[in-house]
């Protein structure tokens, strides 16, 4: 690493990063150390104002695009060059933690500030972004900001989406943009030279392996299905079992068959049935109708494709006397990160003598969309017992600072290409 780069990395402040994380955690704080900061809510607006204030203290230009993605820019020597982008999200789950998303945003700010303090120059501009509505807790779907930025979806597709109170995204977005005036207006599909996102792992692998840095190789693919099982309701006391079309019993057999289908020796496949609606849902009536969700994930494209195709036939075979309908509700292919960005992250961890390991991301992230338009990678740091989307989410200040240092070094490498 060059001397100026070493100086910038050394100026990443564990104390300042932690202090800012704790200040942000006050915005939307809920009992149990958690955070409820829904996208485009008054809490989100408050967090945006704090971030804008910190950026302006350093005289960084702050901009916003039509979906509300917030950008903080540190100029490069070549003003015409596409920027290297880093960032994550500031919204949270309704019962979210203090680190999911916001760590990547504040680690990016820490990187920009450390570079500034060291007086280091980069060829390309470096931009920090806070993507709008990553979580999808208030407005669905999730990862809206990055979907619009990368052109995967159009802003117009989302404007009429409503939250549980009936508020349209159009109005919440307008409120957010008017509450944060004076920002440079940016085009929606501005080009990027590369993207790196720092994030807590949200799983237990780094902690269990005793590693500080996760060099993320990609994001696993997923398939979602709704399975509807139709039978006939009958009296629980009088109808012989052999004559029943019990939709709940068939559902259990189907779930068991899918569990067998997805069993693997390496425990890499993820299989979840997390939602089930039973009709009539009465203790002394045979269930006539059951609707349940299926979520299957794997990082390997061929494996997830094969599993996705096998769900419906396996479910039909196990359905017994009931009729079933299988509907695909979500289909994300695995994303494989750019080898140059993955290597840059690994090199940075090695140069800083931080123990690291390569791993795929189990959760979806904005990086999934960015990977479609520019070389992309991610940096993970451990979180306590892998707990996330939970008030108890926790991470160590030293690990978070280590992640910010790796981010700074990797950004410097990519911004000089
Ligand atoms: Zn997140």
- For residues 47-74, average pLDDT: 98
pLDDT class of 330 with cuts at 50, 70, 90: confident
For residue 100, how far is its CA from the centre of ligand 1 (angstroms)?
A: 5
For residue 265, how far is its CA from the centre of ligand 1 (angstroms)?
A: 29
- Return the DSSP state at 83: P
For residue 89, how far is its CA from the centre of ligand 1 (angstroms)?
A: 6
Q: Could you give the 3-state DSSP secondary structure of residue 8?
A: helix
For residue 316, how far is its CA from the centre of ligand 1 (angstroms)?
A: 36
pLDDT digits 0-9 by tens, 275-284: 899 999 999 9
CA distance 56 to 72: 9
pLDDT class of 332 with cuts at 50, 70, 90: confident
In order of 82, 303, 365, the CA distances from 192 in angstroms are 5, 31, 17
Whether 1 shows a pLDDT value over 90: the answer reads no
For residue 298, how far is its CA from the centre of ligand 1 (angstroms)?
A: 19
pLDDT class of 367 with cuts at 50, 70, 90: very high
**Percentage of residues of the chain with pLDDT beyond 90:** 96
For residue 132, how far is its CA from the centre of ligand 1 (angstroms)?
A: 11
Task: Provide the H-helix boundaries in 274-361.
Answer: 301-318, 339-351
CA distance 49 to 47: 5
For residue 360, how far is its CA from the centre of ligand 1 (angstroms)?
A: 15
For residue 352, how far is its CA from the centre of ligand 1 (angstroms)?
A: 25
Whether 112 shows a pLDDT value over 80: the answer reads yes
For residue 290, how far is its CA from the centre of ligand 1 (angstroms)?
A: 32
For residue 181, how far is its CA from the centre of ligand 1 (angstroms)?
A: 26
288 Cβ contact partners less than 8 Å away, ≥ 6 residues apart: 230, 231, 232, 233, 247, 279, 280
- Return the DSSP state at 282: -
- For residues 306-335, average pLDDT: 96
SS3 of the chain: helix, strand, coil, percent, to 5? 35, 25, 40
- Residue pair 33/23 in contact (Cβ under 8 Å)? The answer is no
Q: What is the mean pLDDT of the chain?
A: 97
pLDDT class of 87 with cuts at 50, 70, 90: very high
For residue 2, how far is its CA from the centre of ligand 1 (angstroms)?
A: 32
pLDDT class of 2 with cuts at 50, 70, 90: confident
For residue 201, how far is its CA from the centre of ligand 1 (angstroms)?
A: 9
For residue 389, how far is its CA from the centre of ligand 1 (angstroms)?
A: 9
pLDDT digits 0-9 by tens, 11-20: 999 999 999 9
For residue 97, how far is its CA from the centre of ligand 1 (angstroms)?
A: 10
Tokens of 343: 């290597």
pLDDT score for 211: 98
pLDDT digits 0-9 by tens, 153-181: 999 999 999 998 999 999 999 999 999 99
pLDDT class of 243 with cuts at 50, 70, 90: very high
For residue 269, how far is its CA from the centre of ligand 1 (angstroms)?
A: 21
For residue 78, how far is its CA from the centre of ligand 1 (angstroms)?
A: 32
For residue 245, how far is its CA from the centre of ligand 1 (angstroms)?
A: 43
pLDDT score for 409: 98
For residue 312, how far is its CA from the centre of ligand 1 (angstroms)?
A: 31
The strand ranges marked E within 47-176 are 61-64, 70-74, 84-89, 126-131
Whether 399 shows a pLDDT value over 80: the answer reads yes
Higher pLDDT, 77 or 140: 77
For residue 88, how far is its CA from the centre of ligand 1 (angstroms)?
A: 7
CA distance 183 to 193: 23
In order of 6, 104, 120, 198, 356, the CA distances from 406 in angstroms are 11, 12, 16, 9, 11
- For residues 350-354, average pLDDT: 98
User: How much is the CA Rg of the chain, to the nearest whole Å?
Assistant: 23
For residue 297, how far is its CA from the centre of ligand 1 (angstroms)?
A: 18
- For residues 328-332, average pLDDT: 89
For residue 134, how far is its CA from the centre of ligand 1 (angstroms)?
A: 7
In order of 30, 48, 137, 390, the CA distances from 95 in angstroms are 8, 20, 10, 6
Q: Partners of 378 in the beta sheet?
A: 197, 216
For residue 102, how far is its CA from the centre of ligand 1 (angstroms)?
A: 8
């Amino acid at each position: 690493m060059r001397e100026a780069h070493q100086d910038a990395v050394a100026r990443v402040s564990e104390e300042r990063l932690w202090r800012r994380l704790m200040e942000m955690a006050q915005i939307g704080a809920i009992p149990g150390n958690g955070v409820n900061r829904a996208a485009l809510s008054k809490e989100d607006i408050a967090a945006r104002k704090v971030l804008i204030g910190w950026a302006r203290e350093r005289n960084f230009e702050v901009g916003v695009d039509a979906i509300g993605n917030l950008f903080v820019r540190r100029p490069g020597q070549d003003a015409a060059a596409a920027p290297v982008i880093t960032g994550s999200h500031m919204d949270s789950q309704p019962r979210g933690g203090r680190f999911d998303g916001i760590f990547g945003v504040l680690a990016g700010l820490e990187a920009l500030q450390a570079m500034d303090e060291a007086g280091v120059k980069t060829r390309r501009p470096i931009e920090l972004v806070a993507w709008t509505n990553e979580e999808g807790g208030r407005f669905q779907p999730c990862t809206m900001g990055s979907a619009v930025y990368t052109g995967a979806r159009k802003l117009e597709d989302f404007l009429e989406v409503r939250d549980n109170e009936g508020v349209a995204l159009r109005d919440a977005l307008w409120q957010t943009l008017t509450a944060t005036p004076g920002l440079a207006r940016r085009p929606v599909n501005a080009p990027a030279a590369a993207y790196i996102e720092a994030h807590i792992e949200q799983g237990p692998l780094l902690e269990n392996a005793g590693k500080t840095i996760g060099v993320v190789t990609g994001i696993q693919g997923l398939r979602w299905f709704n399975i509807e099982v139709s039978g006939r309701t009958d009296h629980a006391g009088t109808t012989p079992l052999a004559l029943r079309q019990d939709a709940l019993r068939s559902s259990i057999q189907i779930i068991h068959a899918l569990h067998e289908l997805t069993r693997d020796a390496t425990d890499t496949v993820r299989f979840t049935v997390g939602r089930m609606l039973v009709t009539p849902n009465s203790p002394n009536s045979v269930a006539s109708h059951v609707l349940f969700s299926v979520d299957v994930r794997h990082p390997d494209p061929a494996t997830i494709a094969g599993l996705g195709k096998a769900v419906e036939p396996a479910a039909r075979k196990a359905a017994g006397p009931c009729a079933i309908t299988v509907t695909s509700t979500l289909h994300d292919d695995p994303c494989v990160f750019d080898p140059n960005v993955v290597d840059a992250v690994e090199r940075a961890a090695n140069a800083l003598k931080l123990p690291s390991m390569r791993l795929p991301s189990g959760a979806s992230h904005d990086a999934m969309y960015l990977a479609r338009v520019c070389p992309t990678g991610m940096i993970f740091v451990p979180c306590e017992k892998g707990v996330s989307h939970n008030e108890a989410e926790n991470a160590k200040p030293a690990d978070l600072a280590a992640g910010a240092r790796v981010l700074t070094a990797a950004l410097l490498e990519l911004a000089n290409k």
